[in-house]
Amino acid sequence: MLMKALRLGLGQLILLSDAVSRPRPQRRGAQSQAVVEKEAACLSLYQFHACPFCVKTRRALHRLNVPMTLHDAKNDPIAPDRLLAGGGKIKVPCLHIQEEGQSRWLYESSAIIAWLEHRFAGIA
C-alpha cells in the first residue's frame, strides 16, 4: 500500500515537473510542418503517462513539434497485446514505425529520441 502511494505521488511529481519545464516547440513554416505531420502519420508511441522515460520521449516530441498518436499501454487493454505481438515485449516507451509496408518497433527512450532527432530536427 505504501509503495503504491509512493509510486503514485512520484508519478504526479514527474508530470508536474514536465508541465512546468516543457521545452518550446520547434518553429517551422506551414509547408515544412505539413511535411512533418505527413511523415509522423506513420508513427505511434506506446507509453505510460507517468513513466519518466516516456515523459522524456514525449518532451522530445513536443520540442521537435512532431504530432503523433499516443497509446496508453497501461489503460488501453489492447495496447499490451499489440506490443507483444509486434515488438516481442511489453515495454515502454516503444515507437511503432510503419513505412513502405514494413513495421518496426523501436524501444529505449534514448534510441527513440535519436531516431526522431535524425528524422525531424533538420526539417525547418
* Model confidence pLDDT, tens digit, residues 30-44: 999 999 999 999 999
Domains of the chain in start order, with CATH, are 2-120 (3.40.30.10)
* Model confidence pLDDT, tens digit, residues 67-87: 999 999 999 999 999 999 999
For the segment 11-25, the average pLDDT, to the nearest whole number, is 83
C-alpha torsion angle, residues 117, 115, 70, 87 (rounded to 10): -170
Residue (of 77, 111, 119) closest to 95 by Cα position: 111
Contact 121, 64 (CB under 8 A): yes
> Any idea which of 21-25, 52-56, 72-76, 106-110 has the lowest mean pLDDT?
21-25
Residue 12: pLDDT band (50, 70, 90) is: confident
